[in-house]
Structure 1
């Protein structure tokens, strides 16, 4: 008995000491953290505010120490469910935040947030898991409920939780599995637990993604089939052939980027034999008919909806997805060394901060189906549209260039959910009625599944020609074009889409090229207006956000023009 008391005293003393150390560390890190968050997300955070940074550090640390002790105390007993109303959505969100490490982090979790409030200080991993596992059998999707995204979200979160516990190999997950197994009422303990998780995964996969077979037998087989390859994925057809050939040629010649390319199209009507022959003559380019992958679904896709399915079907582990009409000012491989990408395995770019009366319902709908937004999600401008706004911003993401590492469970599951949102029934009846095309589905899915994601800090800008007259009389910067320009995290021009260097991308052989002279970079969003002057759109912003195009960039554009003349107009494709 004496030894037991001494041991308990030692554990308590150790916990107190750890708590004091963590409090000191928090106080030391708190101010720099606030400044870092404010700097890296200044544009959206200025809209949303950052009230979460002012929570009690001591209460949060006490909560997290309690959670950590409960997790690793294998002799502890499971507490009763803490949710009388059985709010399974909140239970799942808290458990995912727990798996993402929020309970061990003394600093506020940017992508979580559900475990740091004092009202949730009684979080218990085992109790939450029991609630999740008990609710799983009731999570079915009938033909009438596949578009009920509240239920879809629950099934998807159950799937990612089960998949991570069964297959991810971190010490935390293995100890949790051991803890859960020892408390199981089943006689076979750990073996039975793995069988239960396998059944949950199989049932949820079949409900959400019935089109995976026969291309893959399971999500796990999809994941384990990936090697260490990095490659470029492009989607397009006959109308985009000249743009895709030019894109690939500029990457090869300007940046010496020899990454393999997989070009996905939708059958012979989408890309004819002549164009197929041209692409297959290009070095390290492979053409793939998307109809041969996930045929139950991909034979029904249209236009934008091909993107997530092509990324999923690609043989590459790390995919650099590119729209057919993008071009780059910088080597796209730079994104692979970006701290955000290395941390999360994906990187998202913002669309224009565009005021429009269309698609406003999308913001309200997403808040309804996903009521427990992460801290990061709450800072995004898209989530702060109000019904009283006459013209709020309705575009959050631009999907012209998306890097993803599919070997990461969270990235792969969020990609699968984005595919579901772009499936024929779901996109026509839900997503495309509430948003413009495929693009929002990517970050919607990451947010629903609590998969860490971050946007580039700059909003979409433009590459075009400066309207000198209007700019002079309005004391503003006005740049007009049909392009959407993206800056890198330093505010330097990175890539753009909208037709490359052509005046009219639908007239590939008239040899008429745009004479770009200015760029508009948008670091804030608010204070920028977009005005249509068909076929162009003009960026009206602070004069400080408009720059004359540099000599280096003008010279690059001249080289791009030369490549187009040699490769496309002269037909010298290789």
Structure 2
């Protein structure tokens, strides 16, 4: 419950002296309950959205719950108040399915390659929106290039839809706000350096997504025995689903849980979860807590959904590897982070086309192999480094020692410095998968050359390239 003297006129927009995530979580759940109550009232009104909002404001004069809701929403999510008085008019604009990318000048070449891979190699017909933060972020020339290089691409300035005075966007923070601002009802965010081996449209039919309206992907299993994240989440979530206690993070098996290179959210049905995720990426929230505790935006999606008790699903597989065999170990796959579909086939990878960009190894990969990151074993729900949790597990199983646990072989293990994965079966990519992955390198060469030309003041024409047949 909110404290008895709670006043919605207090500033919950994120000023440091007011930032209390336990209180924030309660306020967001109250907003969700009121949203579900007031939304039908808004829908019953007539006229354009501006007319409806004016009628809703009049209703607030005689309906205390409507008045409370509007004040609370303005304090919680002030970036929505950008030419509108409530989130309802934004919610009514959503329709269809589509892909959302974010790119500034520094990500231009990446997003060109990623979009051409989807549009001209996989032949996906999904509409695409590319979000930026104004002309200082993505130049007019680059906007024109992206708009003209393939069919069905719209370029959108997120600050024209949401109020940047409160968001103060930079870097990763734009991602959830771009998803919110997108006109798509069912939105799939894709990182600028993420590449698919199947038409991304298959994810809209994923069983987990269809069941919950939100689909997330697991990150690699890395850096065990890190307690900061789970301790903070426990401190500010009075109510949680069954997921956190079974997560690798809570069981101290991995510091990372979610990888946000691809995220799917149905904003029609999971709007409160979308808002809560955005809240965790607001200026004060990310600077003081979210990004100080987690690595950027990644965990803000599932934690945001937990804050408002919205359902979500994770693809069952942990982050795997795609690329080439280690030169001294043919049982190790080195390269980028791979994600599988629900049937266990390679679906997409994140991290670009280089052998190991984090270590400065910028030669292109020779894509031929992949390895699963695991996640199927039962031990992920039983084995834990947390002593209190292990005692609970042993009591439940009637065992006296963790040595008595019956365990399958462990998941594959990452060598983070080398960006290699070992300890599971090595799989060979199909010929089509090899052709797709290595063909993206040819597209990337064109994108980088045009990027260099634009840096030199030239204006290359993307329509003069044959993106379909470019070969490495």
TM-score by length of 2: 0.77
- Aligned equivalents of 2:230, 2:168: Cα separation in 1: 27
Counterparts in 2 of 1:180-219, with a 5 A limit?
195-219=63-87
1:487 partnered with 2:355:
no
Change (3 A) 1:513 1:417: same
1:529 partnered with 2:413:
yes
- Report how many residues are paired: 399
Report how far residue 141 of structure 1 moved: 4.3
Deviations 1:337-366, CA, capped at 9 Å, x for gaps: 122212221111111111257x64111100
Report how far residue 514 of structure 1 moved: 1.6
**Equivalent residue, structure 1, for 2:196:** 328
- Aligned equivalents of 1:418, 1:319: Cα separation in 2: 14
Q: Does the aligned pair in 2 maintain the 1:246–1:568 contact within 8 Å? A: no
Report how far residue 569 of structure 1 moved: 4.0
Pick one of 15, 27, 35 that aligns with 1:163.
Answer: 35
Pick one of 296, 315, 319 that aligns with 1:456.
Answer: 315
Deviations 1:186-224, CA, capped at 9 Å, x for gaps: xxxxx9999233123212212211221124321122212
Deviations 1:396-430, CA, capped at 9 Å, x for gaps: 1111111111111xx21111111111111110110
Q: Which has the larger radius of gyration?
A: 1
Report how far residue 332 of structure 1 moved: 0.5
1:147 partnered with 2:1:
no
1:552 partnered with 2:424:
no
Partner SS for 1:383: coil
Report how far residue 505 of structure 1 moved: 7.0
Pick one of 220, 241, 254 that aligns with 1:393.
Answer: 254
Pick one of 481, 498, 503 that aligns with 2:351.
Answer: 498
- Aligned equivalents of 1:307, 1:149: Cα separation in 2: 21
- Aligned equivalents of 1:493, 1:164: Cα separation in 2: 39
**Equivalent residue, structure 1, for 2:50:** none
1:438 partnered with 2:297:
yes
1:517 partnered with 2:368:
yes
Deviations 1:112-150, CA, capped at 9 Å, x for gaps: xxxxxxxxxxxxxxxxxxxx9x78657944644542101
**Equivalent residue, structure 2, for 1:256:** 123
Q: RMSD of aligned C-alpha atoms?
A: 2.9
Pick one of 420, 423, 431 that aligns with 1:541.
Answer: 423
Q: Does the aligned pair in 2 maintain the 1:355–1:529 contact within 8 Å? A: no
**Equivalent residue, structure 1, for 2:148:** 281
Change (3 A) 1:425 1:348: same
Q: Does the aligned pair in 1 maintain the 2:74–2:81 contact within 8 Å? A: no
Change (3 A) 1:412 1:194: farther
- Aligned equivalents of 1:138, 1:568: Cα separation in 2: 50
- Aligned equivalents of 2:356, 2:108: Cα separation in 1: 14
Q: Does the aligned pair in 2 maintain the 1:414–1:451 contact within 8 Å? A: yes
Pick one of 304, 311, 314 that aligns with 2:172.
Answer: 304
Pick one of 185, 205, 224 that aligns with 1:337.
Answer: 205
Deviations 1:461-513, CA, capped at 9 Å, x for gaps: 11122225335xxxxx42222x21111111110001111x345879xxxx953
Report how far residue 559 of structure 1 moved: 3.1
Report how far residue 154 of structure 1 moved: 0.7
**Equivalent residue, structure 2, for 1:403:** 264
Change (3 A) 1:455 1:299: closer
Report how far residue 537 of structure 1 moved: 1.4
Partner SS for 1:465: strand
Partner SS for 1:384: coil
Structure richer in helix, relative to its length: 1
Report how far residue 572 of structure 1 moved: 5.7
Q: Does the aligned pair in 2 maintain the 1:320–1:401 contact within 8 Å? A: yes
Change (3 A) 1:317 1:138: closer
Change (3 A) 1:259 1:451: same
Change (3 A) 1:563 1:296: closer
**Structure 1 unaligned residues grouped into runs of 5+:** 1-87, 90-131, 170-190, 386-391, 472-476
Deviations 1:490-546, CA, capped at 9 Å, x for gaps: 1110001111x345879xxxx95321221121222754332233xx4122323x3x2
